[in-house]
Amino acid sequence: MRNLLSNKPLLIAIAAVVILGILALSSSADRMLTWVESTAGSVMQPVQTFASGSSNAIIRFVQDLFNTTDADKENQQLKIRIAQLEQYEAELQQLKSENRRLKELLNYAETIGEDEFITANVIGKNQGVWFNSFTLNAGRNHGVKKDMPVVNNMGLVGRVTDVGATWCKVRGLIDAKMNVSCLVERTRDNGMIRGTISPDNKSGMLELYYLPAGSDLVPGDKIITNGIGGIYPKNIMLGTVIEVTRTVEGEKTDHNAVVQASVDFTKLDEVMIITGIPEVSAAEE
């Protein structure tokens, strides 16, 4: 037994096999989170919430300081006083900004009618640009379930993919694996929209495809959800067409248009998880 434990390559090989096994099991699309994952996530969640909140405050303060500093460098006391005032102003701006965001969210909440929702904060995002998912500080205990849509006042943010006790993971609309059934608001043509991969994946570029052959699409057209599939409610804003790529009829193109997502993924703080869509509830029952 001791010989076995001292055999490092063997130990590493065993660990690799175990991890690959976990990876294979976790690759299943219908997989639910295990209690181990849920507990580990719940332990990390408060730390992440605190770290995320602190980072926001510090970054906003530093940004505001750089944007507003115009102190008189000849007078030290005045400089200190100005710095203090700027700090107060930065705090005030932060509160104003938060107040405005929450008001917008509240206004939006009033427009989405009878759908029930809960609010949550983004507390972390995955590393790299290949996948776009992020973690929210609301989970099973708050009524969150897999596949629930996530929105903010600008439009559709994404869909819940994993749920822990106090946290959940959301796949963003701009993720390349994301496909959403949509329609062009002006022409009522149905299509599909998907995320893209680019060096700066927060730029929010989407691809619109599967439009009917004679579709009259022009830059500036609004793209909204059509409610087909039962996951996303109807009429949630997805984005605006900025470039139509299908110019010649019959020419084979991969997508019909480039769409700018309406949600600004660089400034994603508060979001709403829609918990009360009849289709989702019915599908689960």
Give contact residues for other proteins (rule: CB under 8 A).
8, 11-12, 15-16, 19-20, 22-23, 26-27, 37, 40-41, 44, 47-48, 51-52, 55-56, 59, 123-131, 133-135, 167, 169, 176-177, 196-203, 254, 266
The nearest distance, CB 95 to other proteins, in angstroms, is 19
Nearer to other proteins, 135 or 226 (CB): 135
Residue with Cβ nearer other proteins (47 or 106): 47
Phi (first) and psi of residue 281, to 5 degrees: -60, -45
Q: How far is the CB of 35 from other proteins (least distance, A)?
A: 12
Euclidean distance between CA atoms 221 and 241, whole angstroms: 5
Burial 211-246 (b: 16+ CB within 10 A, else e): beeebebeeebbbbbbbeeebbbeebbbbbbeebeb
Smallest distance, other proteins to C-beta of residue 61, A = 13
CB of 184 to other proteins, least distance (A): 23
Which tokens is 247 given? 């110019």
Nearer to other proteins among residue 224 and residue 263 (C-beta): 263
C-beta closer to other proteins: residue 115 or 207? 207
Euclidean distance between CA atoms 206 and 203, whole angstroms: 9
Q: Which is nearer to other proteins, 136 or 237 (CB)?
A: 136
| Rounded least distance, CB 219 to other proteins, Å | 22
Cα gap 32→38, rounded to integer Å = 10
Ordered alpha helix ranges (H), the chain: 2-6, 8-26, 35-68, 76-111, 278-284
* Contact residues for 146 (Cβ-Cβ < 8 A; gap 6+): 32, 160, 161, 162, 163
Minimum CB separation of residue 60 from other proteins in Å reads: 10
Tell me whether residue 34 or residue 107 sits nearer to other proteins (CB atom): 34
